[in-house]
Amino acid sequence: MGDWFQTIVDTEATPGEAEGLAANILDWLIADGFVSAERTDCVLGADAGHAPGAGYGEAVEEPDPGLAGVWSNGLHVTVGRTVFDAGQGEPSAVTCPHCAVQMPLVDERWSPIEEAWALFADAVGSWADGDDEPVACPSCGRAAPVHTWLWADEYFAFGHLGFTFWNWPTLRPEFVADFSRRLGGHRTVLLAGKL
């Protein structure tokens, strides 16, 4: 049994505003009872998070009565430059932001195409450290920073602010849209994956 997660990433928040936006969103989630105010040991990959609140069912398509009994059932807020990914699996393709040519990254058996992935691996790996390494498009020859390429399957999202819900049922689209509105209309990406 793996752990499933959904992460809402704000791809437009600047490093300077991420912390304030995170606090605003948390205030709303706590006030409306989606999560509890207390920080407890209820998330993976971090010290503490916020467990589901009494009103968490309003955030999801189908509330799961068993969620309360799952240890990893909390919300973790990530502030800081991060490459968010969908966990298991591979991105299937990536599209050049200049010429819109799509490059497959896996073959028909869903195995990674090493020579295609090699063009991106360093840039993806170093983005969180502050690098904006350009990747040259094999099709048009123009270079673009790795975070501006369009990743299929919502596999990667590059940003400074993310909200990860551990083992929650599918989030309602209205709930996700509320994030974008409360983040000042910033573009958000919803990643879903398994660890």
Q: Using CB under 5 A as the criterion, which residues of the chain lie in contact with Zn ion when the complex forms?
A: 96, 98-99, 137, 139-140
CB of 140 to Zn ion, least distance (A): 3
Nearer to Zn ion, 91 or 162 (CB): 91
CB of 120 to Zn ion, least distance (A): 13
Percentages helix, strand, coil for the chain, rounded to the nearest 5? 25, 30, 45
Among candidates 59, 52, 63, which has minimal Cα distance to 177?
59
In sequence order, the 6+-apart residues with CB closer than 8 A to the CB of 57 are 63
CB of 67 to Zn ion, least distance (A): 44
Nearer to Zn ion, 142 or 194 (CB): 142
DSSP character at residue 32 = T
| Rg, the chain, Cα only | 18
Nearer to Zn ion, 45 or 134 (CB): 134
